[in-house]
Structure 1
């Protein structure tokens, strides 16, 4: 059961990161289209790269948190608190509606 929760959480984190990366790319294109000088275009590119790196870091953090929770479960044999949230703070998958825990 714990493995299924980890997998679901990792999938959610990957999907969220993918959406954030796509939004960053679209935002960059919009900013480049409205930019009038090369400096503004370069700033748009840098902003996109920062947003993509942040999304990837959040995804990796969630995966690391899930792996640590899984390892803790193995060591203790108990049923500890396990967050399935893609956000790392609310304990729910993005877009799940209620904002409640999926535990």
Structure 2
């Protein structure tokens, strides 16, 4: 890993995944609100009860949206915190960020050049511990992405 660049990419990916989860949760809550409103309207016999069901649905939808926005703000703050924690500016002249070890950063796996290119065709990556599944190789012959 190369200092801030890689950790910010990981942080951005984690934030995106967390945001997708928050959005999915909010969508589920909105759907449940609509279904509950439909049931309550079917059970209601007077217009006031039907209006109350509609108002409750709108309230639940607004609450779900507010919770989603809060979660997204929290995810962005967590990413910024993680990025700031992994960034260690140096005052020494001539120090390259690639020369500085980041505490807790995983070293590239054996056979990995960590140069940003995809693996050479024919070489796959193993997923899982021990005898996991091998993913097919991607990229162009020679290992460079287009």
What is the CA distance between 1:61 and its match in structure 2? Answer: 0.5
Quote the residue 1:14 is aligned against: 23
User: Which of the pair has more CA radius of gyration?
Assistant: 2
What is the CA distance between 1:69 and its match in structure 2? Answer: 1.2
Quote the residue 1:63 is aligned against: 72
Q: Give TM-score scaled by structure 2 length.
A: 0.51
SS of equivalent residue, structure 2 residue 45: coil
Segments ≥4 residues shifted beyond 2 Å: 73-79
SS of equivalent residue, structure 1 residue 36: coil
Quote the residue 1:27 is aligned against: 36
- The alignment yields a C-alpha RMSD, in angstroms, of 1.5
Aligned positions of 1:1-103 closer than 5 A: 1-77=10-86
Aligned residues: 79
Alpha-carbon separation, structure 2, partners of 1:32 and 1:10: 33
The structure whose residues are more often strand, as a share, is 2
Q: Give TM-score scaled by structure 1 length.
A: 0.71
Higher relative contact order (CA 8 A, sep 6+): 1
Alpha-carbon separation, structure 2, partners of 1:5 and 1:71: 11
Question: Where in structure 1 are there 5+ consecutive unaligned residues?
Answer: 80-103
What is the CA distance between 1:48 and its match in structure 2? Answer: 0.4
